[in-house]
Structure 1
Amino acid sequence: MKVKGVIFDWAGTTVDFGCFAPVNVFLTVFEDAGIEVTLEEARKPMGMLKIDHIRTMLEMPRIREAWNQKYGRDFTEQDVLALYMQFESKLMESLATYTDPIQHVQEAVHRLREEGIRIGSTTGYTDSMMEVVTQHAAAKGYEPDFLVTPTQVGDKGRPYPYMIFKNMEALGIEATNQVVKIGDTTSDIKEALNAGVWAVGVIVGSSEMGLSEEEFMALSEEEQQITIEKTARIFKETGAHYTIRTMEELPALLEKINERLEQGIEIA
């Protein structure tokens, strides 16, 4: 038995180093509503369906208290929807500029395809958002075999496992232990674990790391290593089976997983 499919996340994993397209918009829409939020607060729910992300931010005790002080009441679902509509509008304006493939992604995908491995994908973006992302990413050289958005599974995005299952169905993969899910957030790891597939966190360029390419390259080698180890620890504490620094390490990791499968070792 061998790995037959790899399912990638999009922003922060295969395109948009640092996952800045949505983060910048989350900061803006809350600021426009008179609520100052931190970068850490905006990033914490990353990977979720975006309306769920906004709801999760509003449920954070500090943000909830700030909302109560500003408006004299708790937030409502109408508030969630209003913020989301602003988010979607602003994101669509800027999304195309955040579609550059991250370094080593195209080479890794080419290697996988040479070995007959199918390439799936899941996302926290909606169908309409992904129409923009897929078109521009394909023009720049990245195009997986299949994509599932939360829209296509009744808005039950991460941490639900349904997007992974839909990928497996479309790609014709019969067993969960033949699937590797790779993402850059704790939501990605939870999605993989709930689906019973191999969960892998990618570190450099991830939302969890939270740095732009320029910021990361400006760090000393020691500072880079500290940042990498901190991010890897978060993924491992969430339950990731493995972490990789970049996609350059992916082919070697798949060999290791295949060795485990050949020895009959099940996913822990």
Structure 2
Amino acid sequence: MHTYQHLEAVIFDWAGTVVDFGSFAPTQVLIDVFARMGVPVSMAEARVPMGLAKWDHIQALGRLPGVAARWQARFGRPMQDSDVDALYAEFMPLQVARVGEYSAPIPGAFATVESLRASGLKIGSCSGYPRVVMDQLLPLAAAAGYAPDHTVATDDLPAGGRPGPWMALDNVLALGVGDVRHCVKVDDTVPGIAEGLRAGMWTVGLAASGNAVGLTADEWAALSPAQQAAYRAPAEAQLRAAGAHYVVDTLVELPAVLDAIEARLANGERP
């Protein structure tokens, strides 16, 4: 059986990483909530702040120039924190109700995670979702075959969420990891890569399954190699610019990356 001498744990994001190919659950609900306020938001705009906690995501979305202009036109004033509170209050029950619709496993992801667990790695996870949403998602994922050793929601910790290191480090504590440099953070967003780097970990970005490409698994599979390359290039560039040590399409390619990281650790390299 494959075993690692150095690597101890992999910490996974949720939407766009192990479930919800294209990360549709958060974006579609945000679009719907803004629409209820009479302010149209495009899917591309909704995706820009992805990876942040949802209150911060709504605030950042409202500050995008196009959205800010539409808000001003609709209400005659800029968006305020009280408006963010109101949007968040609308968002939460919708997200809780609908997260299950978008919780399908990313093809091959669950089997990949199980193979890593069989190799002796600890499996951590964290999310931009708040706890009430994770409490809906966790049993659905478990029933489908995915149950991480530890899960942190974005509002679980007093310090906050991404791009800070705290959720990743909470996994280190909970899993009893001996060295943060023996951890790998896997995510499809820029704040998620920042989280891993700030926690002192190796980071792997996912280009195809995540927010930056924003296609369903079927839509991605239907593309020609040239079309996939055209979609992949900006997504990969974004993740590399954020500092990702490696970028691959989906979790299926992760084991080869972990082997490369293991070899670098054995050689005395550090993240």
Q: How would you bin the TM-score normalised by the shorter chain?
A: over 0.9
**In 1, distance between residues paired with 2:73 and 2:18?**
40
Q: Deviations over 1:102-124 (max 9, x none)?
A: 11112211211121100000101
For 1:213, the equivalent position in structure 2 comes to 217
1:214 Cα offset (Å): 2.5
| Partner secondary structure for residue 51 of structure 2 | coil
Provide the identity percentage.
39
The match for 2:156 among 152, 164, 168 is 152
**In 2, distance between residues paired with 1:177 and 1:16?**
29
Which amino acid in structure 1 is aligned with residue 8 of structure 2? K
Which amino acid in structure 1 is aligned with residue 125 of structure 2? S
**In 1, distance between residues paired with 2:262 and 2:224?**
35
Matches within 5 A, 1:25-104: 25-104=29-108
Q: Does 1:239 align with 2:222?
A: no
The match for 1:140 among 134, 138, 144 is 144
**In 2, distance between residues paired with 1:204 and 1:65?**
31
| Partner secondary structure for residue 150 of structure 1 | coil
**In 2, distance between residues paired with 1:222 and 1:140?**
33
Q: Deviations over 1:54-83 (max 9, x none)?
A: 011112222222212211112221100100
Q: Does 1:263 align with 2:267?
A: yes
Q: TM-score, normalised on structure 1?
A: 0.96
Q: TM-score, normalised on structure 2?
A: 0.95
Aligned 8 A contact 2:116 2:255 in 1: yes
How many aligned residue pairs are there? Answer: 267
**In 2, distance between residues paired with 1:41 and 1:192?**
25
For 2:188, the equivalent position in structure 1 comes to 184
1:218 Cα offset (Å): 2.5
For 2:203, the equivalent position in structure 1 comes to 199
| Partner secondary structure for residue 147 of structure 1 | strand
**In 2, distance between residues paired with 1:249 and 1:68?**
45
| Partner secondary structure for residue 151 of structure 2 | coil
Which amino acid in structure 2 is aligned with residue 249 of structure 1? E
**In 2, distance between residues paired with 1:103 and 1:229?**
21
**In 1, distance between residues paired with 2:44 and 2:197?**
24
Q: Does 1:173 align with 2:180?
A: no
Q: Which runs of 5+ in 2 are unaligned?
A: none
**In 2, distance between residues paired with 1:246 and 1:92?**
26
**In 1, distance between residues paired with 2:262 and 2:142?**
29
For 2:119, the equivalent position in structure 1 comes to 115
CA RMSD, Structure 1 to Structure 2 (Å): 1.2
Moved more, 166-175 or 209-218: 209-218
Aligned 8 A contact 2:17 2:250 in 1: no
**In 2, distance between residues paired with 1:250 and 1:171?**
20
**In 1, distance between residues paired with 2:160 and 2:92?**
18
1:155 Cα offset (Å): 6.2
For 2:168, the equivalent position in structure 1 comes to 164
1:5 Cα offset (Å): 0.4
| Cα distance change, pair 69–155 in 1 and its aligned pair in 2 (3 A) | farther
Q: Which runs of 5+ in 1 are unaligned?
A: none
